[in-house]
Amino acid sequence: MAKNRKGESDWTILVIGIFKLVKCASLLALGAALIHWQNKDLGEMASRWLGNVWLGRSYFDTVLVKLSLMRKDTIDKFAVGSFVYAVLLSVEGVGLCLRKRWAEFLTVGITASLLPFEFYELYQRVTVSGVVVTLVNIAIVVYLIVRLFAGRRQKS
């Protein structure tokens, strides 16, 4: 287990790093799927996967309709965006797992910079998943800021 600057176990940084790496893997899979099926009806493809889902069915039906109506250039932009964001998440995740201070700063900057978009999405439509994701990201930012300031005071 990773040790923090005081020598005690610091599993929180490791958990955040793993969380970032899981998000990275998800985005890589999404980008690959978008490229693989870019010339097919994404709504139809997703419908096959989600055919047996009953929980949150109205949400998935809405997503399926939107996927069916996406143009190829929009799909390409989403694929590129998912790969770019996956690279950032991998740098954050690996840096945090290795307990690099720069990774903590990077994670605060990137995660905090995306919060306005999450707030806007919640303003448009409040969903349980949106609230959970936003709260987790706020908790990560607050935790890392407190940790960074505490580390700064210890050095003084």
Domain boundaries, the chain: 9-99, 100-156
Question: Which pLDDT band, with edges at 50, 70 and 90, does 16 fall under?
Answer: very high
3-state secondary structure at position 33: helix
The answer to whether 112 and 141 are in contact (CB under 8 A) is yes
Place of tokens 């929980």: 55
Residue 26 has pLDDT above 80, yes or no: yes
Alpha helices in the chain (DSSP H): 11-36, 42-50, 57-69, 72-97, 101-124, 128-155
- Tokens representing 144 are 């890392």
| Predicted TM-score (pTM) of this structure | 0.75
Query: 45-93: per-residue pLDDT in tens?
Result: 666 666 655 555 565 566 666 767 778 888 888 889 999 999 999 999 9
Bridge partners of 9, per DSSP, are 3
What the block records as the tokens of 3 is 């040790």
Q: H/E element holding 2?
A: none
